[in-house]
Structure 1
Amino acid sequence: MKRTQEVFDRLVSSEFRLASFEDVKTVALAMWHENFVPQVTHLSETSAKAAGYVVDKLMRFNCVSQELKAKLRDVLAVLKGMFSFTPVKVKGCDKLAQSWGLVTDLKLQIRELLEYQTRHYKHA
């Protein structure tokens, strides 16, 4: 899980347009199939916005258990307690990203993850 935390930190610390699909995939698979709950208390405000969006986005998929969703909601509460996030309006940007104050999103990379979030996927 340490490596996953490092990948998560890298993902939320750089602009999403520069994010590698492999980083997004690593975090998504860990969250969806390995019950990964990221540590967020060390993040800057900018990284916290990105982390909030990533966690909020990935926890909405059906492959996330109710127990994990509860833990991830706690992560979101920690982030919201650390900083206040002012929503923005940006044409073509995911509304969830905008609600976290972001002007970019991961919707293209998330779309590529479809095959990994079904009940037919066997995580190794």
Structure 2
Amino acid sequence: MAKRLDGNLFTSALDKLARSPLNEADDSTLVHVAQAVWYSDVDLVSAARAFLRCHPDELQVRRVGYLLEKLTRFSCASVHRVMDTRHALELFPHAMPIAQSPTAVRKRRDELAASWGLDEGLGLKAQALLPYQTRHYEARQTNS
């Protein structure tokens, strides 16, 4: 059974993450959002609508869109939650890639972030999510 989570708390966490570059995100907020996407039953479409209603800033919208899409690429995301997330992502205007100067392009560039028009990504912050994407963690959540 999926863990119950308040959609308002999820939207607040998205708001917090949207306000600064994701590679500088607060680890606990990032983990909270990842857990909600992967393991909860929060209505992601409703949460996306609420977030978009309150956030006209294009950069913030692109950050959250990128983050939600990035979270669907982790192997712990169930097919059902990936589909829910993709439905929520349909509400987001998808940015075109940003123009990169030849000196700005690095071999380790986050192509997904670039597709959202961002020159930032999760970077090393993804390591904060590692303990939460295991079968053992998921089993503990569903048995709670």
Query: Do the structures match in fold with TM over 0.5?
Result: yes
Q: Partner residue of 1:95?
A: 111
Q: Partner residue of 2:3?
A: none
Q: Partner residue of 1:59?
A: 72
Distance in 1, matches of 2:17 and 2:83, equals 23
Distance in 2, matches of 1:61 and 1:18, equals 20
Structure 1 moving runs of 4+ over 6 Å: none
User: 19, 24, 43: which is aligned to 1:18?
Assistant: 24
SS of residue paired to 2:117: coil
Instruction: State TM-score, norm by structure 1.
Output: 0.84
Letter in 2 for 1:110: A
SS of residue paired to 2:119: coil
Q: Partner residue of 1:74?
A: 87
RMSD of aligned Cα (Å): 1.8
Structure 1 residue 23, shift from structure 2 partner: 1.1
Q: Deviations over 1:71-98 (max 9, x none)?
A: 2111211103xxx512134424411111
Instruction: State TM-score, norm by structure 2.
Output: 0.74
Distance in 2, matches of 1:61 and 1:35, equals 17
For the 8 Å contact 2:61–2:92, the answer to whether it is kept is yes
Q: State the aligned residue count.
A: 121
For the 8 Å contact 2:23–2:123, the answer to whether it is kept is no
Distance in 1, matches of 2:109 and 2:121, equals 6
Structure having greater relative contact order (Cα 8 Å, sep ≥ 6): 2
